[in-house]
């Protein structure tokens, strides 16, 4: 039983972690909570559904296509709603992102309709394997592995390539980086693209794990992933992964061992958030930011 719960927690944690990375990267660079990120995650799940249901694409082509299209959506959101506000007070951008979030959700309700859609899953992912009496869903092993691979790839980009260097430089000081001849807007677009692609990957795997998708599915996972990013220390990729895993474990384990509390499941994440913010406002892995006068 415990092995099963751990695998479930690892899977949920991986999904949260992939979304949380998008929040943390955008916050690190623009100091913006991108409220629309959870809805980008939802778009990823819908694109894989339509790739299969309308276009009848082979599964793997559908996955690639969904990730690419979602990344383009993320970049478009930044171009249309955040870039014009680059010099505005930060709170304006925040309100803009809330507006974009509601816009995507309501547009999705109109275009995709509010009726939940069933996602077709490749059968090898969901046929239960018995191993020493433990019933294992292959999906719960595949998801954490994919997550591990994606995070490794991301860390390589951020720490070993030129664009990654530019990203890290922008997060320290955007003005100086611009003066050094870095095309800041391109790097910001790239950041939104990568973040949205990871959210799409998470959305696709979420749709495989919980195969009923609906237009508001991004709301709660998005909020929780943001919490994971804050708990781990916003701005830090490793922190986002740790925060996501922590949140996944807390949720699965409390529901597994205290079923009476399962109605309060959605409140745990927020209670965890407030406790962390009060004890260590910069999160587990965060750097302390000095307030400049």
Partner 1 sequence: MMGNRMRNNTLTLLAVVGLAAFLWWADGNFDGYKIQIMNLIAINAILAVSLNLIYGFTGMFSLGHAGFMCVGAYVSSLLILPSSQKQAIYILEPLIAPLQTAHAPFVVAVLLGGLVAAIFGLIIALPVLRLGGDYLGIATLGFGEIIRVFANNLVPITNGALGLKGIPDYANLWWNYGFMLFTFYFIFRIVNSNFGNALKAIRDDEVAAKAMGINTYKYRVTSFTIGAFFAGIGGALLASLLTTIDPKMFLFIMTFQVLMIVVAGGLGSITGSLIGAVVITILLEWLRFVENPITLGSFEIPGIPGMRMVIFSLSLVLIILFRREGLMGMRELSWDSLFRRFSKRGEAE
Residues that bind partner 1 in the complex, under the rule CB under 8 A: 31, 33, 81, 84-85, 88, 90-92, 94-96, 98-100, 102-103, 105-107, 109-110, 114, 219, 223, 226-227, 230, 263-264, 266-267, 269-271, 273-274, 277-278, 281, 291, 293
Residue with tokens 């899977």: 11
Q: How many CA atoms lie within 13 A of 69 on its CB side?
A: 18
Tokens at residue 151, please? 């995070």
Identity of the residue, 18 or 230, whose beta carbon is nearer to partner 1 in the bound complex: 230
Identity of the residue, 68 or 277, whose beta carbon is nearer to partner 1 in the bound complex: 277
Other Cβ atoms within 10 Å of 1 Cβ, number: 8
Q: For residue 244, list its beta bridge partners.
A: none
Identity of the residue, 99 or 118, whose beta carbon is nearer to partner 1 in the bound complex: 99
Smallest distance from the beta carbon of 268 to partner 1, in angstroms? 9
d(CA 266, CA 249): 14
Smallest distance from the beta carbon of 110 to partner 1, in angstroms? 5
In 3D, which of 196, 148, 223 has the Cα closest to residue 47?
Answer: 196
Question: What sign does the CA torsion over 211, 217, 218, 224 have?
Answer: negative
Smallest distance from the beta carbon of 205 to partner 1, in angstroms? 25
Residue 81 CB partners (closer than 8 Å, separation 6+)? 36, 96, 97, 99, 100
Residue 35 CB partners (closer than 8 Å, separation 6+)? 94, 97, 98, 100, 101, 222
Smallest distance from the beta carbon of 67 to partner 1, in angstroms? 26
Identity of the residue, 144 or 235, whose beta carbon is nearer to partner 1 in the bound complex: 235
Smallest distance from the beta carbon of 52 to partner 1, in angstroms? 25
The answer to whether 47 and 70 have CB atoms below 8 angstroms apart is: yes
Smallest distance from the beta carbon of 293 to partner 1, in angstroms? 5
């Amino acid at each position: 039983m415990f092995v099963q719960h751990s695998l479930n927690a690892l899977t949920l944690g991986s999904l949260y972690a992939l979304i949380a990375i998008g929040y943390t990267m955008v916050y690190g660079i623009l100091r913006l909570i991108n409220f629309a990120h959870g809805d980008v995650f939802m778009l990823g799940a819908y694109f894989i559904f339509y790739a299969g249901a309308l276009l009848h694409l082979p599964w793997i082509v559908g996955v690639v296509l969904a990730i690419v299209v979602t990344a383009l959506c993320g970049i478009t959101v930044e171009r249309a709603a955040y870039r014009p506000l680059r010099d505005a007070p930060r709170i304006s951008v925040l309100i803009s992102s809330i507006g974009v979030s509601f816009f995507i959700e309501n547009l999705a309700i109109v275009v995709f309709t509010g009726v939940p859609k069933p996602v077709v899953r490749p059968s090898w992912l969901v046929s239960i394997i018995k191993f020493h009496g433990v019933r294992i869903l292959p999906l719960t092993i595949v998801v954490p592995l994919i997550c591990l691979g994606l995070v490794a790839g991301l860390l390589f980009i951020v720490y070993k390539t030129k664009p990654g260097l530019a990203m890290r430089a922008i997060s320290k000081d955007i003005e100086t980086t611009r003066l050094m001849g870095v095309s800041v807007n391109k790097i910001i677009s790239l950041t939104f693209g990568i973040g949205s692609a990871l959210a799409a990957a998470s959305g696709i795997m979420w749709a495989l794990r919980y195969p009923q998708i609906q237009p508001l599915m991004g709301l709660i996972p998005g909020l929780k992933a943001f919490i994971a990013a804050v708990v781990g220390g916003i701005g830090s990729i490793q922190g986002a992964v740790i925060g996501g895993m922590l949140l996944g474990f807390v949720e699965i384990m409390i529901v597994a061992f205290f079923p009476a509390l399962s109605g309060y499941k959605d409140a745990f994440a927020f209670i965890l958030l407030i406790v962390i913010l009060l004890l260590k406002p910069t999160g587990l892995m965060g750097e302390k930011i000095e307030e400049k006068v």
